[in-house]
Structure 1
Amino acid sequence: MPRPRSLDPGRLAAAALAVIDREGLAALSMRTVAKELAMSPMGLYRYVADRDELEGLVVDRVLEAVDSSPPSPDAPWRDRIETMAERLRTAVARHPEAIALTLAHRHRSPGGLRWSETVLGILTEAGIDGTRRVVALRALHAYVTGAIQLEHLGPLAGPGTSAIAALPGDRFPRLTETARTAAGVDPDEEFLGGLRMLLRGLET
């Protein structure tokens, strides 16, 4: 197959993301992306060194959609953090099959770095600095990415909830009860509820 005359990182990332969205993360390879671009697998190595670099481009593509501009300074700091968390959740959730890549590569992505910089600015204005600011940022990252992963891939998401609810109640009474309750919890309510618990803890 002929090599495209010009293959910029954006087009390459879009092709890789299309493969992931359609076939799942396990289908991502130099071969499948080359096929998506109608080129030879060897030709693709002219643009990326390996799959790791390809994954990084995918994460850049996902996170560049995150609005990292500071929310209105008139809003309370916790509301502004909520806004930032929702922006990240919305962008990442558009591509649930790529969530695992986002967790692995977000530290190298310009979009992810811009998001963190804005969040750090809000935390600083709230008087959270030094060691507390380190812990706060990491806790927020862990919560947001973990909640997104659980919502789309975790054992209490989708069909997994029913499977856990069907476990022997005498061996796992609290887990089965929680799974039954989880089936009726709105995802937005769950995400914001957990986030607000975390933010209240940061305030104290």
Structure 2
Amino acid sequence: MARRTQGTSAGLDRGKIARAAVALVDRDGLDRFGVRRLAQELEVDPMSIYHHIKGKAALLDAMSEAVLVEMMADAGDPPAGWAETARWIARHYRELAYRHPEVFPLLVTRAQTAPVALTALDRLIGAMRTAGLPDRVVADAPMTLFGFLNGYLLAVLNGQPGTAPSVDPAAYPGLASVAPLQHDYGTAAEFDRLVDTVLAGLDARAATGTGDPLT
């Protein structure tokens, strides 16, 4: 098919461009991604892309938004209760990370201010306020939860789920003593357990009535 002339939209819109960019990064990786390669994939002139999305930074943001929209479209309605809502977000976020491992780093390294991201956080905050949790705990919850989620998922995406760490017991006796308990590294079971640990910490702070750390 002949390439479109410069500036011709070719039926493009922001969503179609972002989804094509996600598919390209899924296939070839983020390091090889560029607007010219995307234009070749869409068989358009690069200016057709810039007509809808102003620059590569805006395109990366559009890609982040596209995978979050996909996540929320598959998620359905959140359950009742703030902890259940947090687990619901966490599990769907993990699924997104494994579905789009090459795109996922964008969610970690770029500010997520798209409506779909803010809506998910607003649901969590609304559930926490409905439950009567202290404002300090509510305010800290998004950073606490996503600090864990982003760090954990980046760590395990390229690992071997279900593989226990191998350490020299003579050099690292403490690590060696707990290694058998880490056999489920990277698995859904480990993920759920660690999410519960994060939520238990928030719940413990809420128990003080002020959200201040327990002493």
Greater CA radius of gyration, 1 or 2? 2
TM-score bracket for this pair, using the shorter chain length: 0.7 to 0.9
Cα distance change of structure 1 residues 172 and 36 upon mapping to structure 2, 3 Å threshold: farther
- Classify 1:176/1:46 alpha carbon distance in 2 versus 1 (closer, same or farther; 3 Å): farther
* CA distance 1:174–1:183, change in 2 (3 Å): same
- 1:77 and 1:126 in contact (8 A); partners too: yes
Aligned partners of 2:178 and 2:32: how far apart in 1? 34
1:94 positional shift? 1.3
Q: Which residue of 1 aligns with 2:122?
A: 117
**Contact (CA 8 Å) 2:184, 2:190: kept in 1 or not?**
no
The 8 Å contact of residues 90 and 149 in structure 2, kept in 1 or not, is answered as yes
The match for 1:202 is 202
Gaps of 5+ in 2: 205-215
Shift of 1:195: 0.7
Classify the secondary structure of the residue corresponding to 1:140. Answer: helix
| TM-score (normalizing by structure 1) | 0.82
CA distance in 2 between partners of 1:180 and 1:40 (Å): 55
Alpha-carbon shift at residue 27 of structure 1 (Å):
1.3
Alignment of 1:177-188 (within 5 A): 182-185=182-185, 187-188=187-188
* Aligned mate of 2:160, from 143, 158, 161: 158
Aligned counterpart, 1:72: 79
Compared CA separation, residues 149 and 15, structure 1 to 2 (3 A): same
CA shift, 1:118, in A, is 0.6
Q: In the alignment, which residue of structure 1 is the partner of 2:14? A: 9
% identical aligned pairs: 24
Evaluate the alpha carbon distance shift between residue 13 and residue 175 of structure 1 in structure 2; reply closer, same or farther with a 3 A threshold.
farther
Seen in structure 2, the aligned counterparts of structure 1 residues 174 and 132 have a Cα distance that, compared at 3 Å, is same
SS state at 2:51 partner? coil
- Equivalent residues, number: 196
Question: Which is richer in helix?
Answer: 1
CA-to-aligned-CA distance 1:115-134 (integer Å, 9 cap, x gap): 10111111112222322211
